[in-house]
């Protein structure tokens, strides 16, 4: 259960770091209900103990939600924008997945890849710049799930 909470926290931090000035945040609970928030640059989204805290643009009251009742959190641009942060506009693909030895990427629009790989504890385990044709060795990683951030796009890697 702790691993799931850490995964949610890492995903939120990575995704929110890529979000534009105003972001719609939808919290889906295990009872199938949802709650929506608009968070601007003046708003905040952060964790305290086992709670997700959201300060939306509607007021100065912080909404505190225990992470144990959250099924998922999704982000969307609340208003139209010209930015495309966090979208896969380069048709970037990671393969093979799952992998035991290496991963590669294919892309229709970019040759240089800025790659960061995080374990589920949020620790950076690999960081570097690679070409699209280059293999990235993951054979020394422990088996499990990793978050791979490449040029602003986040992938989930299953290491065998």
pLDDT of 37 reads: 77
* pLDDT beyond 90 at 22: no
Look at 71-75, 98-102, 117-121, 145-149 and tell me which has the smallest mean pLDDT. Answer: 71-75
Same domain, 98 and 152: yes
Query: Using 50, 70 and 90 to split pLDDT, how confident is the model at 83?
Result: very low
Q: What is the mean pLDDT of the chain?
A: 77
Structural domain of 50: 22-76
φ, ψ for residue 125, nearest 5 deg: -105, -15
Q: Which of 52, 76, 100 is the last residue of a domain?
A: 76
Same domain, 97 and 138: yes
Q: Calculate mean pLDDT across residues 128-136.
A: 92
pLDDT of 16 reads: 46
The pair of structure tokens assigned to 107 is: 């892309």
Same domain, 61 and 112: no
The CATH number of residue 134's host domain is 2.60.40
Indicate the pTM of the whole model: 0.48
Torsion of CA 33, 38, 42, 44, to 10 degrees: 20
On whether residue 2 sits in a domain, the answer given is no
Query: Using one digit for the tens of pLDDT, what is the confidence trace for 57-66?
Result: 666 678 889 9
On whether residue 7 sits in a domain, the answer given is no
The string of DSSP codes covering the chain is: -HHHHHHHHHHHHHHHHT--SSEEEEEEETTS-EEEEEE-TTSEEEEETTEEEEE-TT-SPEEEEEGGGEEEEEEEESS--S--TT--TT--EEESSSBSSEEEEE-SS-SEEEEEEEETTS-EEEEEEEETT--EE-TTSPSEEEEEEETTEEEEEEE-
């Amino acid at each position: 259960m702790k691993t799931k909470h850490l995964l949610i926290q890492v995903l939120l931090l990575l995704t929110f770091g890529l979000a534009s000035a105003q972001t719609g945040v939808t919290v889906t609970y295990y009872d199938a209900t949802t709650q929506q928030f608009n968070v601007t640059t003046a708003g905040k989204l952060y964790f305290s103990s086992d709670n997700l805290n959201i300060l939306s643009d509607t007021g100065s009251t912080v909404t505190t939600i225990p992470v144990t009742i959250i099924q998922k959190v999704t982000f969307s641009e609340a208003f139209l924008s010209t930015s495309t942060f966090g979208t896969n506009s380069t048709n970037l693909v990671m393969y093979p997945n799952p992998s035991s030895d290496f991963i590669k990427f294919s892309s229709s629009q970019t040759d240089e890849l800025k790659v960061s790989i995080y374990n589920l504890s949020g620790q950076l385990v690999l960081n570097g710049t690679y070409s699209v044709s280059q293999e990235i060795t993951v054979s020394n990683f422990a088996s499990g799930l990793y978050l791979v951030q490449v040029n602003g796009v986040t992938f989930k890697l299953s290491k065998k």
